[in-house]
């Protein structure tokens, strides 16, 4: 019993040190470490989308430059140059220009899309139950591969997301 306890404590200390090191490496990615209060008010939902005050369940993934022709050139589906704080969405559900609020992560501007986002491939493959398998997919853009991979490893896999019009975003940097 004692050996297991020591090993467990050592594992926590090792994980804590590696997470702190990764945080320093990815600290330039403002969107990764920004904190937001849970979304209030309108969530962009139809009554048929699921009755939750917080929003709608989404599989949260990451992408970065170099994954394909468009991201390598930092081109979004809307023609705007990709940057930290942007995300890819299914535009038939979340309109381009909407502010997507992800509690604990921050606000992202919906400016891109992709076939895997529309088909919800990540949710279908990684969901453990019917609700997760039918979740939306929100793909967060990271300007560096290192920050994106860090998010994929330590970030939330599923989150309740809400969205509103881009006009409610206020002054974005």
pTM across the whole model: 0.67
pLDDT for position 37: 33
Is the model more confident about 132 or about 66?
A: 132
The yes-or-no verdict on residue 145 having pLDDT over 80 is yes
φ, ψ dihedrals at 22, nearest 5°: -70, -35
pLDDT tens digits along 1-57: 334 333 333 323 333 333 333 332 233 333 333 333 333 333 333 333 443 455 899
Q: Which domains are delineated in the chain?
A: 29-167 (2.40.40)
Query: What are 100's two structure tokens?
Result: 């997507």
Tell me if 64 sits within 8 A of 70, measured CB to CB: no
Measure the CA–CA gap between 101 and 16, rounded to whole angstroms.
Answer: 27
| pLDDT level of residue 167 (50, 70, 90 thresholds) | low
At residue 165 the predicted structure's pLDDT band, cuts being 50, 70 and 90, is confident
Q: Give the whole-angstrom CA distance, residue 150 versus residue 129.
A: 25
Distances in Å between the alpha carbon of 161 and those of 14, 42, 103, 126, 143? 32, 11, 7, 18, 22
User: What is the per-residue pLDDT across 61-105, written as a single tens digit (0 to 9) for each?
Assistant: 999 998 888 888 898 999 999 999 999 999 999 999 999 999 999
pLDDT of residue 32: 37
Which stretch of 67-76, 99-108, 123-132, 150-159 has the lowest confidence by average pLDDT? 67-76
């Amino acid at each position: 019993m004692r050996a297991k306890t020591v090993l467990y404590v050592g594992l926590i200390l090792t994980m804590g040190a590696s997470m702190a090191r990764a945080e320093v490496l990815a600290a330039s990615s403002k969107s990764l470490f920004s904190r937001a209060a849970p979304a209030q008010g309108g969530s962009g939902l139809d009554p048929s989308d699921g009755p939750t005050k917080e929003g709608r369940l989404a599989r949260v993934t990451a992408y970065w430059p170099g994954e394909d022709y468009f991201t390598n050139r930092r081109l979004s589906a809307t023609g705007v140059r990709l940057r930290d704080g942007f995300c890819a969405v299914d535009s038939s559900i979340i309109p381009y220009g909407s502010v997507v609020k992800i509690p604990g992560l921050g606000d992202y501007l919906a400016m891109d899309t992709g076939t895997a986002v529309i088909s919800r491939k990540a949710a279908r493959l990684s969901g453990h139950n019917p609700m997760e398998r039918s979740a939306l997919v929100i793909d967060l853009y990271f300007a560096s591969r290192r920050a994106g991979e860090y998010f994929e490893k330590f970030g939330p896999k599923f989150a309740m997301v809400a969205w509103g019009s881009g006009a409610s975003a206020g002054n974005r940097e």
